[in-house]
Amino acid sequence: TQLTFCVVGDGEAETGPLATGWHGNKFVNPKTDGVVLPVLHLNGYKIANPTVLARIPDDELADLMRGYGHDPYFFEAQPGDDHLEAHRRFARLLDDVLDRIVAIKTDAESVDADAVERPRWPMIVFRTPKGWTGPASVDGKQTEAHWRSHQVPLANARDSEEHLQVLADWLASYRPEELFDERGALDDRFDVLRPAGERRMSANPVANGGQLLKDLIMPDFRDFAVDPDSDGHGGPVVESTRRLGEFLAEVARRNPDNFRVFGPDETASNRLQAVYEATPKQWLGDYLPTDAPDPMRRQGQVMEVLSEHQCQGWLEGYLLTGRHGMMSSYEAFIHVVDSMFNQHAKWMESTNEIGWRRPVASLNYLLSSHVWRQDHNGFSHQDPGFLDVVMNKSPEVIRVYLPPDVNTLLSTFDHCLRSKQYVNVVVAGKQPEPVFLNMEEAIAHCTRGLGIWEWAGTEVPGSEPDVVLACAGDVPTLETLAAADLLRQHIPELTVRVVNVVDLMRLQDEHEHPHGLSDRDFDTIFTADRPVIFAFHGYPWLVHRLAYRRTNHANLHVRGFKEKGSTTTPFDMCMRNDIDRFHLVIDVIDRVPSLRARYATLRQQMVDRRIEAKAYAYQWGTDIPEVADWTWPDAGATTADAKAAARATGGDNE
């Protein structure tokens, strides 16, 4: 058993993520999991204020800890206390607490892991003076046992003789002459205090989880491929993340001890419920008879709590101790953990430079229920801006993927689960969407990170296209293909190149990101001078930010989410943000010089079809059939039928 001695500052204890973290004990199995011993360090102050938990009566604090499910043990030391005696007192208390933990673990050992009950884990309330053993006062103001001892109790030791003397007295109070020898080294007598071998922090696998990391035993993701219709691209229609769930179930099955799936009550809503065929949710709260059909047990590899903070914290801890995992979230609400993500990314970047630190598994996000499909929820659920937050972090540690269909999603996730020392962000839809590539094509596409879909374009080999239609993300890809279809019908002489981007980092300069395309490659794919109409999953300016140095940047016209959202139909969402097929055709007419006035009539037809589609959506609450039932022309006829049937999407609680 591993025990985490977790010291909680009483300042930190005021933060939201920590406040809910106490409830983690409703998810810990006393037989099969490690133990967390929380030590609430009530030193009474934060930067410049008393702390809340230090300023409520002891009985209220005891109630709070019991309410969190803990059994509190109280310890207190006063400024004047003898230090050694305080140490001895604490050692005795700690012995009691550890005995209690051993008793809990021993009890649990005799019971089946699925039958253990949640115990009342002990915790310690550790009340000591802030700045204990520091200067009692500075400038006549109390400093020890006061917030003034925070961080820099003596700001002016450099400039003030008086402060310098306080500093000297303070340091002398530790009697350095007894601690150090004449060379300034710690006296040999204290060697016994220095940890040796694996007890040294850098060598201790507990603090350097990469040492414990074992590669996942991976199923072959190609076994989960969904074949496109025999007669072409664009079908059948599949809920991509549901299929991913089947793959993840097999990953969970093969790695029962070091792979977990975390989610803020959204594992099923994000359509990963197949995972439950392999392993249940772990739940140590009370059970009701009506829970019987649910995939909840006292031991399982899925962790669900309605706190993105808690999921993120659990996942970080799980990875840093040498295991593997992933977290799914609604796209908009992953912003809840922006700050935690930032710190984890910074930590990874910093540890990359530390020789003894071994790589840990990547932190994998699956963002679903995304901006373009909020048929039930609406504007509050529409925010693809986590990508912008992610892209601000160091290129060495971040990866962003936008697989357009199920096979690219499987290939991408296989890659992410095998990777180390990254944060991988994968955005994928849970709604029925077409299969565009067979698995072989998908693997090649994901390996390249982007590619020309020659079957979708109308290029003439040996000459440059008139226009490039680029896309990234599942819904933008669908709209781009529908636009390509319209252009093929209405402007047959126009040569169109269709480019799909899976790995967003490919757009960046190769000097900026290890995945970045060279300028030569970029120019070859996006041309040096043809208009590029780019339909993007997120905020459009992100693409400009990535590509502003490219030769053809002035010809790059990006459509994406521009904060025009509501609870509305999928196609109305596209229209509100001008990323719909009709508007993409308009953009082509506007941007290709040879078209413009010559195709004013077609342009007007496109405007009219938008008006018509909008009116239909408002009247019927669903999309106009010509849009909703559209499939790529060479998709099988069966796909059109299946698409019509799959149009209605389930609720979040499916």
Q: Which of residues 273-332 bind a copy of itself (CB under 8 A)?
A: 281, 283, 285-288, 290-291, 293, 296, 304-310, 332
629 binds a copy of itself (CB under 8 A): no
Q: In 3-state terms, what secondary structure has residue 532?
A: strand
Cβ-based nearer residue to a copy of itself, 124 or 389: 389
67 binds a copy of itself (CB under 8 A): yes
Q: In 3-state terms, what secondary structure has residue 170?
A: helix
> Is 402 within 8 Å of 500 (Cβ atoms)?
no
Stretch of residues binding a copy of itself (CB under 8 A), selected from 141-149, 190-198, 425-433, 498-506: 141-149
Cα distance between residue 592 and residue 468, in whole Å: 10
By 3-state DSSP, what share of the chain in percent is helix, strand and coil, each rounded to 5?
40, 15, 40
Q: In 3-state terms, what secondary structure has residue 260?
A: strand
Cβ-based nearer residue to a copy of itself, 135 or 465: 135
Residues 499-558 that bind a copy of itself (CB under 8 A): 539, 541-542, 544-545, 548, 553-554
| Encoded amino acid at 35, one letter | V
Cβ-based nearer residue to a copy of itself, 179 or 306: 306
DSSP 414-458: HHHHH-BS-EEEEE---SEEE--S-HHHHHHHHHHSEEE-TTTS-
Closest distance between a copy of itself and the C-beta of residue 304, in Å? Answer: 5
Cβ-based nearer residue to a copy of itself, 267 or 639: 267
How many residues are there in the chain?
654
In the β-sheet with 532-536, what is the strand arrangement from edge to edge?
Answer: 450-452, 496-501, 467-472, 532-536, 556-559
114 binds a copy of itself (CB under 8 A): no
76 binds a copy of itself (CB under 8 A): no
Residue of the chain from 2, 84, 91, 159 that contacts a copy of itself (CB under 8 A): 159
69 binds a copy of itself (CB under 8 A): yes
Residues 163-202 that bind a copy of itself (CB under 8 A): none
Residues 430-459 that bind a copy of itself (CB under 8 A): none
336 binds a copy of itself (CB under 8 A): yes
Cβ-based nearer residue to a copy of itself, 281 or 559: 281
47 binds a copy of itself (CB under 8 A): yes
Residues 251-270 that bind a copy of itself (CB under 8 A): 265-269
Q: Which residues contact 489 (CB under 8 A, 6 or more apart)?
A: none
Closest distance between a copy of itself and the C-beta of residue 52, in Å? Answer: 5
Closest distance between a copy of itself and the C-beta of residue 193, in Å? Answer: 27
> Is 41 within 8 Å of 9 (Cβ atoms)?
yes
352 binds a copy of itself (CB under 8 A): no
Cβ-based nearer residue to a copy of itself, 24 or 451: 24
DSSP 6-62: EEEETTGGGSHHHHHHGGGGGG--TTTS-EEEEEEEE-SBSSSSB-TGGGS-HHHHH
The H-or-E segment that residue 314 falls in is helix 308-320
Closest distance between a copy of itself and the C-beta of residue 421, in Å? Answer: 16
Binding-residue total with a copy of itself (CB under 8 A) = 105
115 binds a copy of itself (CB under 8 A): no
379 binds a copy of itself (CB under 8 A): yes
Q: How far apart are the first and last CA of the chain?
A: 37
Q: What are phi and psi of 197, to 5 degrees?
A: 55, -130
Q: Which residues contact 506 (CB under 8 A, 6 or more apart)?
A: 449, 450, 515, 516, 517
DSSP 461-482: TTS--SEEEEEESHHHHHHHHH
Closest distance between a copy of itself and the C-beta of residue 152, in Å? Answer: 3
26 binds a copy of itself (CB under 8 A): yes
Cα distance between residue 278 and residue 245, in whole Å: 10
> Is 497 within 8 Å of 457 (Cβ atoms)?
yes
271 binds a copy of itself (CB under 8 A): no
Closest distance between a copy of itself and the C-beta of residue 518, in Å? Answer: 19
421 binds a copy of itself (CB under 8 A): no
618 binds a copy of itself (CB under 8 A): no
32 binds a copy of itself (CB under 8 A): no
DSSP 509: B
Cβ-based nearer residue to a copy of itself, 20 or 133: 20
Stretch of residues binding a copy of itself (CB under 8 A), selected from 82-90, 154-162, 468-476, 492-500: 154-162
Closest distance between a copy of itself and the C-beta of residue 542, in Å? Answer: 8
Report the DSSP beta bridge partners of residue 5: 37
